[in-house]
Structure 1
Amino acid sequence: MPYEPPPELAALSLADIAAEVAARRLPPLDQWAPVETGESHMEIRADGRWFHEGGEITRPAMIRAFAGLLVRDGDGRHWLMTPHQRLAIAVADAAFIATDVVRRADGSGAGGLAFRLNTDDIVLAGPDHPLRAAGDAAVPALYLAVRHGCEARLNRSTYAQLADLALDEGDDWCVTSQGRRFSLVPA
C-alpha cells in the first residue's frame, strides 16, 4: 500500500490535529526488553537525512517506519528497537527535524502549537511534549520532545514561525501550548 502523508497543518483544526496524532499507530517500545544489542550501521545527520552504510535512505515510508522504532536512553544514545534486539544508530543532533508549526485554539481558549516533523509525524507541544531552548543568545537552538526520549530540532523557518508566534503573545519570547509556557531564550 502506498504511503499517504497527512494533510498540511494549515488546513487542520485542533480537533483534526488531535485525530491525526491519535491515528499514528506506534509499536509498544516501552513494553519491549530486547536481550541482543548490536549496530545498525545507520545514521541520522543534522539535516534530518537518514543513511545506511553510507547510502542515503530516500523512501519516506521506510524512514517513517524506522522513526517509529527509535528510542534515546538516559546516556543520550539512540537505538532502533525490536522485541528481540536493539541496534545503535548514530544521530548527529536530534532524531527529528520540526519543519512547520501552527497555533490552533480550542473552545476553552487554551489551544496548542502543532508541529510537523520531517517524518510527517505531528506533535502537539505541551506537558508531554515540551519545548527546550538550548545553545546561547547568539546561536539558539530549539528542541521539541517527541517520544521515547527523542527530540526534534526546529529548522530555521519553523524557528522563525515560532518567534512570530511568541511576539504575538508578548515581548518576553515565550509561547504557550496546552496550558504550558515555554521560553524561546536559552537559559
Structure 2
Amino acid sequence: MPYEPPPELAGLSLTEVAKLVAERKLPPLDRWSPVHTGDSEMRIASDGRWFHQGGEIRRPAMVRAFASLLMCDERGTHWLVTPSQKLSVEVEDAAFVAVDMKQESDTLVFRLNTDDLVIAGPDHPIEAEGDPDTPAIYVKVRHGTRARLNRSTYAQLVEFALARADEANPAVTSGGATFSLRPA
C-alpha cells in the first residue's frame, strides 16, 4: 500500500492534529534492549536528507520508516533501534527539519520533513541555541531527537512571537509553557 501523507497543516484543526498524532503507532524503542550494536552507514544532512553509503535515500516512506526507529542518547549519538540491533547514525545538525507551523489559540503545531506532526509544549519544548544575531530554533520530537526549524518556519514563529511580545524578549506559548526565542 503506498504511503499517503497527511493533509496540509493549514487545513487541519488542533483536534484533527491531536487525532493524527494519537493514531500514529510508533515502535516502543524505549522498551527494546538490542544486543548487537554497529554502524548503519547512514547520515542525516542538515537539510533533512537521508543518505546510506553516500547515496541519497529518495523514497519518503523509507525515510519515514527509518525515522520512526530513531533515538538520541544523552551523549548526542543518534541510533536506529530495532529489537535486535542498535546502529549509529551520523546527524549533521538535527534528525528532523520542521518545515511548517500552525498556530491555533495558544498552541503551536509543527510538521516535520517526515510528515510527523509535533504539538509544542512541556513534552515537546522549543529551544533557542546559537547567539542572538544568528539563533537556531529547535523543537524536541521524541526519544531525545529534535527538529530544527527551517528558514520559513522560523520566520512564521518569529512573526507569531513578535505579535505577542516585545522585540527585546521574543517568546511563544504553547501547551501552557512559554519558550524564549532568544538564545541563553
Residue-by-residue CA offset, 1:73-98 (whole Å, 9 max, x unaligned): 01100000000110000000000000
Structure 1 residue 40 displacement after superposition: 0.3
Give the CA deviation at 1:62. 0.2
Kindly provide the amino acid, as one letter, of the partner of residue 30 in structure 1.
D
Deviation at 1:104, TM superposition (A): 1.1
Aligned counterpart for 2:178 among listed residues 173, 176, 181 = 181
Runs of 4+ in 1 over 3 A off after TM superposition: none
1:41-73 alpha-carbon deviations (Å, 9 max, x no partner): 000001100000000000000000000000000
Q: Name the structure 1 match of 2:14.
A: 14
In the alignment, what sits opposite 1:108? none
Please report the TM-score for the alignment, with normalisation by the length of structure 1: 0.96
Residue 147 of structure 1 aligns with an amino acid whose one-letter code is: R
**Percent identity among equivalent residues?**
63
The RMSD of aligned alpha carbons is 0.6
Instruction: Please point out which of 109, 121, 146 is paired with 2:141.
Output: 146
Residue 86 of structure 1: aligned partner: 86
State the distance in 1 between where 2:165 and 2:146 align: 26
Cα distance in 1 between the residues matched to 2:164 and 2:34: 46
TM-score by length of 2: 0.98
2:119 is aligned with what amino acid? Answer: L
- Judge which range, 76-85 or 168-177, deviates more: 168-177
**Corresponding residue for 2:120?**
125
Among 155, 160, 163, the alignment partner of 1:160 is 155
Q: Which secondary structure state, in structure 2, belongs to the residue aligned with residue 2 of structure 1?
A: coil
Structure 2's unaligned 5+ residue stretches are none
Counterpart position of 1:60: 60
Number of residue pairs matched by the alignment:
182
Shift of 1:170: 1.8
